[in-house]
Amino acid sequence: MTEWVARRQTQRAGRRILLVIAAVAAVILLLCFGFTPVALNSMIADDQQGLLASQSCGAELAVEGVANIKGLKKEQIDNAAIIVDVGYQLKVPPRGWVIAVATALQESSLHNHRVALDHDSLGLFQQRPSMGWGTPDQLVDPRYASRKFYETLARKAPAWPRMRLSDAAQKVQVSFNGSLYQQWEPMATALVNQLTHGAASGVGGGFGAPAKCAQGGEVSGAGWTVPSTAKLGSGFRTPSRPNHKGVDVIAARGDPIFAASAGLVVTSMCQSGSGTCDRDGGSNVSGCGWYVKIRHAAGMSTLYCHMQTRPLVSVGDRVEAGQKIGIVGTSGNSSGPHLHFEVRLNGEPINPVPFMAARGAALRRQL
């Protein structure tokens, strides 16, 4: 009887999440994608929820090789739903849900371990009674464990919305190898979006604040923001420019350039056929000019070209989402001030426009 009651409570929690956030997600999708799926406006059967999630969250959220949640069992998905529901009840923004789910994926694979596997670690987050997290009975209660995680995250990492996921999680967990949490960010984002019809792909989260796409240094639940608030110019591999591997953001000289997501700076240099980046380039000059490349989770990286001056970050720096990394210029192969922005998956350029929109950080198109 106890297990049956628990299952019913989990199902009710899941339905509550879906119903409450559906309207919020519809607004996000309208702003980020330009449409609202009709299905979001009505009740749906349980066996249709996964299909609807894949349609409403945007196919780009599960770029092949980035996230695969199909192998998760019902128990794991139910536990993820509890983590999200507790975060919602505590008024934690969706970015926190992603961090919590990613942490539980690393610590327990979303299984609620009732027998200690390492010292006296228990439950979804492998919290330890001996370290003051609570009693054994409390720690194997997914709701209690989730609440303790969120409370500790707020206390120990107040800047967590902008932090690299692994850095935020490590502030709470103090693990032997805190870098391992990062690998779960894409799966956690996709899972939260499946459970909530895309709440991780926007800013707001349904707590009275308006849901919207990230702009001007704001960070979406998926951990992304726009590198510049200006409008788009030349697009990705257009018929007239088939070798254009990114998009051009037509910003003014001196405008700030932000890191699109937290990560590690792997390139910060001048690349110019003229031999210098300290003067304006031109269409007859090769190279990216002053530029930065940032490595993110799961084989993702971003590139920022044609900066006005030497970048504000160096190789080896860890940057937060929305951190200023340089200013707009026209160095290298450039005919005027703008930001050339690329997104790469395992080294191969992909179209930044649908990728960023699916993560709640839509690049602005020309009107």
CATH number at residue 321: 2.70.70.10
- Rounded average pLDDT over 222-230: 91
Q: Taking the chain, what is the end-to-end CA distance rounded to the nearest angstrom?
A: 59
* Residue 130 and residue 264 in one domain: no
Q: Which amino acid is at 162?
A: R
pTM given for the model? 0.73
pLDDT, residue 19, reads 45
122 lies in some domain: yes
Whether the Cβ atoms of residue 92 and residue 106 lie closer than 8 Å to each other: no
Whether the Cβ atoms of residue 50 and residue 194 lie closer than 8 Å to each other: yes
- Rounded average pLDDT over 238-265: 95
* Residue 154 and residue 265 in one domain: no
* Residue 149 and residue 261 in one domain: no
Q: Alpha-carbon torsion 206, 210, 212, 216, what sign?
A: negative
State how far the Cα of 37 lies from the Cα of 55, in Å rounded to an integer: 8
- Rounded average pLDDT over 179-187: 88
31 lies in some domain: yes
Q: Which residue from 213, 302, 323, 309 is spatially nearest to 257, judged by alpha carbons?
A: 323
**pLDDT-derived band of residue 200, with 50, 70 and 90 as boundaries?**
confident
277 lies in some domain: yes
pLDDT, residue 352, reads 95
203 lies in some domain: no
User: Is residue 79 over pLDDT 70?
Assistant: yes
* Residue 184 and residue 260 in one domain: no
User: Is residue 272 over pLDDT 50?
Assistant: yes
219 lies in some domain: no
* Residue 177 and residue 289 in one domain: no
State how far the Cα of 336 lies from the Cα of 170, in Å rounded to an integer: 43
* Residue 330 and residue 268 in one domain: yes
State how far the Cα of 327 lies from the Cα of 320, in Å rounded to an integer: 17
* Residue 37 and residue 124 in one domain: yes
44 lies in some domain: yes
pLDDT, residue 69, reads 73
What average pLDDT does the structure give for the chain?
81
* Per-residue buried b or exposed e for 136-154, using 16+ beta carbons within 10 Å of the residue's own CB: bebbbbbebbbbbbbebbe
209 lies in some domain: no
User: Is residue 64 over pLDDT 60?
Assistant: no
The total number of structural domains in the chain stands at 2
The residue out of 196, 214, 231 marking a domain boundary is 196
309 lies in some domain: yes
State how far the Cα of 139 lies from the Cα of 118, in Å rounded to an integer: 14
Q: Which residue from 167, 153, 4 is spatially nearest to 83, judged by alpha carbons?
A: 153
Whether the Cβ atoms of residue 202 and residue 212 lie closer than 8 Å to each other: yes
Up-side HSE of residue 141: CA atoms within 13 Å toward CB?
Answer: 13
pLDDT, residue 14, reads 53
Number of separate helices (H) and strands (E) present in the chain: 9, 9
* Residue 254 and residue 181 in one domain: no
- Rounded average pLDDT over 30-48: 32
- Rounded average pLDDT over 329-333: 97
pLDDT, residue 198, reads 76
What's the domain range around 108? 2-196
